[in-house]
Structure 1
Amino acid sequence: MNVRRSAAVLAAVVAIGAATPAAADTSPSPSPALPSALYGDTDPQYDGVWRQSLALLAQHRVDVEPSKAAVDWLTGQQCADGSFAPYRADTAEACGAKTMVDTNQTAAAVQALAALGGHDDVTKKAVGWLKSVQNKDGGWGYTAGGASDTNSTSVVVGALAAAGDRPAEVKKDGKSPYDALLTLALPCEGDGAGAFAFQPDKKGGLVANADATAAGVLGALGAGLAAGPGKGEASSCEKPGTPEQAAANGAAYLTDALAENGHLTSALAGAEDQPDFGNTADAVVALAAQGSGEQAAKSLSWLEKNAADWAAQSGPAAYAQLIFAAHATGADPRDFGGTDLVERLGATGPAAEKATEAKADEKKDEESDSGLGVWWFVGVCLVAGIGIGFLISGRKKQQP
C-alpha cells in the first residue's frame, strides 16, 4: 500500500539528506548482489519481506506452487522474537535493538506463510510478537509502540485471521483491533463522510484517506490482502457503530471516489493529477470483499487497460496487487487486459516448483484418458444396442 511505500521513500530521503564527506567519491559503487530467492531486483532494504510475502501469497492464490527457496528465504528472515524486518542481508547475525522490525512486514509474512501451510512454528511466533506490541487502543502502528494507524491495524487483522485467531478476541486493556478501527472511521457528515483516516491529525481530527479506507474496509471485515468476493451490499453511510457498518461506509466512500474516472489519484505532493494504480487495485479488493461488485468491476476494467506499464516498473508487489484485484472480482489474472500477470510475477523471482507443472500435466493426461474412456464405453454400448446408446446419450446431456 502506498502509505508503506511512502514511508520507505521518506526514510530513503532522510538517509540521502545526511551530511556527506567534503571529498566524496563520485564513482559508482558496485551494487550488492541480491539473493537469488528474492523477488524483484530493486533495493530490498525497505520492502524485501513485504514484496516477497505478496508474491508468494499471489502465487498461492492462483494455484502456483512457489519456489521452495523463495519460501525458505522468507522464513529465514524472521528474528528470534518472531518479528520480521524488511530485509536482513546476514541472517546469521541475530536481530538486535537496531534491527528495524515492523508490524507490516511481519503481518504480511504471516498471511503468506499461513496460506501456504506447513509453517505453523513461524506464524505462531510472529503472531505472538504482534500480540505483544498491540497498543492500548487495540490497534497497531507501523513500528512497535508507534501510534495506531488504519493500514497497520488492518494488515495485522488479516494476519490474525489467517493464523486462525479471532481478531475481536485479541485485546489489550479490553480494546480489540475493531475498536481502534472504529475510532479512525469518519462520521457520515462533512468532508470524507464514511472514509477512514490513516491517523488522527495533530489536532485530533480525522481526514479521509483513500488508501487507509481501502485497508480499513478489509480490516473491518476481518479480511486479508488476498480477500475474495463478499456478500454484503452497497449502502448509504450510517453511523459506524459496528465494524460491518464501518466497512460498508468505507466502501460507499470508495465508490464515490472511483465513480468519475474509475481510478484513485495520487495523494503525494506534486502528483495530484496522476492515477494511483496501487491504491486503485487495493480499492477493488476492498469493494469486492464488501460486496460492492459493480464499481469493483468497473475499476478493474480500468486497471486492465492502464496498469501493465505501472506493474512492470514497480515489480512483484504490484503484480501481486493486480492478481488480488483479479481474484476478488472473478477475473482471469492470466489474461489481464492481454497481460499474463502470473507469468510476469513469476519472471521477477525464482522459478516455481516443477512439481506444480508436473501435476498440471498429470491432471490433463487424466482428463484426456477419462474422455477417451467415456467415448470407448459409448461406442461399445452403441454396438450392443441402439436403446442403450440413447440412454447413455441422455445421461450425458444431463451432466453439468
Structure 2
Amino acid sequence: MYVRRSAAALAATVVIGAAAPAVAADPTPSASPSKAFPAELYGDSDPTYDGVWRQSLALLAQDTVGVKPAKGAVDWLLGQQCANGAFAPYRADTSADCGAKTLVDTNNTAAAVQALAALGGHDTAADKAVSWLKSVQNKDGGWGYMAGGATDANSTSVVVGALAAAGEKPAEAVKGGKSPYDALIGLALPCKGEGAGAFAFQPDKKGALAANADATAAGVVGALGKGLVVSPGKPAEATCADGSSPQQAAANGAAYLTKALSKDGHLKSALPGAEDQPDYGNTADAVVALAARSGADAAREPLRWLERNSARWAAQSGPAAYAQLIFAAHATGADPRDFGGADLVKQLNATGPAPQTSAEATAKQEKDTKDDKGDSPFGVWWYVGIFLVVGIGIGFLLSGRKKGPQA
C-alpha cells in the first residue's frame, strides 16, 4: 500500500505515503551524528523530511499489534500540527506559528490522521487535519503531495486512507463533481498494452500514463477505500478487465502486481538512475495491496521473500520500514513477532521511547496473578499467613519439649 520514501530529492515529487501511501523513509541519514533530535521521536536520522511520517507509521504499527505507545511520542506528534490542521514533515521549533514558509503536505497530514484516529482520543486534532485535506483537494477529486500540486496516485490514496480512518466516506469527498475514486481511475492504465492494469504515479507532460509499481500498490488500496492497516480480504482471483469502477481498478492493479512479482517474488527499484535491485518497501506495500484485494494467499510468496531478505534493509531504514513490514504481516495474518525469525515489534519499539504496557503484556500479567492466587478466594497471602501460624505453633511445641516437665 503505501509507505513512501521521504528523501529530500523526492519530497517535492513523490508522495510520502504509506499504506495508502506511498513510500518508505530514506535509509541514508543526512544529519551529523552529533546533532540531537527529540527523545520522543522514533528513529535517529535527520527528521527534516520524514519526522511526522515515520512517527505516524511507528505509532500506527504499535497500535496494530496491541502496543500502547509512549505518551511523549504521541504528544510529540500532536505538537507538530499547525493551527490550520496540516502537518509538515518536521518542525524543530513548535513554539512558532506555522507560516507561509512552513512546507505542510498531504502525505504527512494523512499519515498523522491515520495514527491519531487509531489511537483514539484525538478527534479534535484528526478532524482539523481532515478539514485541511478537504480544503486542498484538487478539482479532479485527487490530491498532490503539496497543496495545489498535480494529483498523483500515492497522495490520493494516502488521503483516502485518512478519510476512512476518520470515519468519513471517501466517495462523498467531492470537488468539482469528482471524488478521489474518479482521480484514481483516471490514473489507471487499460488492460491492453504495456503495464496493463497498473496505476501511473502522474501523467507525463504529454498526458500519457506509465505503469508504476509503487503507485499501483497505493492505488489498489486507495481504490478499495482502505488505509495503511488492512485485514486480509476474501480470496478472489484478480484479472484485468475493462470497467470504470474503483473495485475493477483495484482488481486490475492487483493483477499487474501479481505478474510483476511472479518472477523474483519482489519488486525492483523504480527510482530514476537506480540500480537494478530489490525494492523492499514497495514489495511490502504490494503485499498489503494483494492481501487487501485478493486474500492472504495471494501475497504469500512476496511475504516469504520479505521474511527471508528484509532484515538488513529494515535495520538500515528504521521505524517506517519496521512499520511497513508489520503492516504486511498484519495484512496476511502472519506473526510480526516471528517474522523470518525476527521480532519486528521489539525492533520497532527499540527505535524510540519505550511504549507503555502492551495489551498482551497486561493480559499475561493478569493471568499470572490469577494463577498465583489459584482457585482460593483468599489468595496467596492467606496461605502465607497459615504457614506462619503453623510455624509459630511448631516453634512453641519444640520449645516446650526442650524444657521438659516443670517441677
Q: Shorter-chain-normalised TM-score: which range? A: 0.7 to 0.9
| Structure 1 position 357, deviation (Å) | 7.2
CA contact (8 A) 2:106 2:146 kept: yes
Separation in 2 of the partners of 1:294 and 1:288?
7
1:117 matched to 2:120: yes
Structure 2 contact 2–158 (Cα < 8 Å) conserved: no
What is the aligned counterpart of 1:36 among 35, 39, 59?
39
Change in CA separation of 1:355 and 1:189 when aligned onto 2, cut-off 3 Å: closer
Q: Deviations over 1:160-196 (max 9, x none)?
A: 0000000000100111000000000100010000000
Counterpart among 148, 151, 158 of residue 151 in structure 2: 148
Instruction: Give the superposition deviation at 1:64.
Output: 0.3
- Distance verdict in 2 for CA 1:136–1:291, change over 3 Å: same
- The match for 2:402 is none
Instruction: Please say if residues 182 and 240 of structure 1, whose CA atoms lie closer than 8 Å, have aligned partners that are also in contact.
Output: no
C-alpha deviation, 1:340, in angstroms: 0.4
Structure-2 change in CA distance of 1:65 and 1:237 (3 Å): same
Aligned to 2:243: 240
CA contact (8 A) 2:295 2:332 kept: no
Paired position in structure 2 for 1:84: 87
Q: 2:190 aligns with which of 182, 187, 201?
A: 187
Cα deviation, residue 6, structure 1: 5.9
Q: Deviations over 1:200-253 (max 9, x none)?
A: 011101100000000000000000011111125123211131000100100000
- State the match for 1:60 in structure 2: 63
Name the structure 2 match of 1:346: 349
Classify the secondary structure of the residue corresponding to 1:310. helix
Contact 1:251 1:292 in 2 (8 A): no
Give the corresponding residue for 2:109: 106
Aligned-pair distance for 1:98?
0.2
Please tell me the residue identity of whatever aligns with 1:5. R
Pick from 239, 249, 252: which aligns with 1:249? 252
Shift in Å, 1:359: 1.9
Q: Note closer, same or farther for the CA distance 1:259–1:70 as it changes in structure 2 (3 Å cut).
A: same
1:130 matched to which residue of 2? Answer: 133
Distance 1:227 1:38 in 2: 25
Question: What is the alpha-carbon distance in structure 1 between the residues aligned to residue 134 and residue 222 of structure 2?
Answer: 16
How far does residue 362 in structure 1 lie from its aligned partner after superposition?
A: 2.9
Q: Measured at CA, do residues 217 and 232 of structure 1 come closer, stay the same or move farther in structure 2, by a change above 3 Å?
A: farther
Aligned to 2:325: 322
The residue that corresponds to 2:8 in the other structure is 8
Aligned residue in 1 for 2:336: 333
Shift of 1:355: 6.9
Write out the 4+ residue segments of structure 1 that deviate beyond 6 Å after TM superposition: none
Quick one: distance in 1 between partners of 2:72 and 2:361? 18
Contact persistence 1:217–1:286 (CA under 8 A): yes
Q: Give the Cα separation in 1 of the matches to 2:246 and 2:133.
A: 21
Is the contact made by 2:158 and 2:227 (CA closer than 8 Å) also made in structure 1? yes
Relative distance call for 1:30 and 1:368 in structure 2 (3 A) is closer
When the two chains are superposed, the root-mean-square deviation of aligned CA atoms in Å is 2.2
1:103/1:140 contact within 8 Å kept? yes
Residues 376-395 of structure 1: pairs in structure 2 closer than 5 A:
none
Using the alignment, how far apart are the partners of 2:64 and 2:97 within structure 1? 33
Look up the match of 1:74: 77
Counterpart contact for 1:187–1:240, Cα < 8 Å: no
Inter-CA distance 205–330: structure 2 relative to 1 (3 Å threshold): same
What per-residue deviation string (whole Å, max 9, x for no partner) do you get for residues 54-98 of structure 1?
000000000000000000000110000000000001100000000
Q: Give the number of the structure whose residues are more often helix, by fraction.
A: 1
AA partner of residue 50 (structure 2): D
The SS at the match of 2:110 is helix
Displacement of 1:273: 2.0
- Aligned partner of 1:296 in structure 2 is 299
Specify the code of the residue in structure 2 equivalent to 1:186: L
1:167 aligned to which of 155, 167, 170:
170
The SS at the match of 1:265 is coil
- CA gap of 1:139–1:373, structure 2 versus 1, over 3 A, is same
Q: Report the CA distance between 1:258 and its aligned residue.
A: 0.3
The separation in 2 between residues aligned to 1:354 and 1:236, in whole angstroms, is 44
> Radius of gyration: which is bigger?
2
Contact 1:240 / 1:249 at 8 angstroms: preserved in 2? no
**In 1: Cα distance, 2:351 partner to 2:32 partner:** 24
Match for 1:209 among 198, 207, 212?
212
Q: How far is 1:270 from its partner?
A: 3.9
- Gapped regions of structure 2 (runs ≥ 5): 13-30, 377-407
- 2:389 aligned residue: none
Query: How far apart are residue 354 of structure 1 and its match?
Result: 3.8
> 1:356 deviation in Å?
5.0
Tell me the amino acid that sits aligned with residue 5 of structure 2: R
2:176 partner SS: coil
Equivalence for 2:263:
260
Deviations 1:111-161 (A, max 9, x none): 000000000000000000000000000000000000100000000000000
Distance 1:2 1:333, change over 3 A: closer
Aligned-partner residue type, residue 97 of structure 1: A
Residue 284 (1) aligns with residue 287 (2): yes
Q: Secondary structure at the match of 1:275?
A: coil
Q: Which runs of 5+ in 1 are unaligned?
A: 13-27, 375-400
CA distance in structure 1 between the partners assigned to 2:362 and 2:89 by the alignment: 34
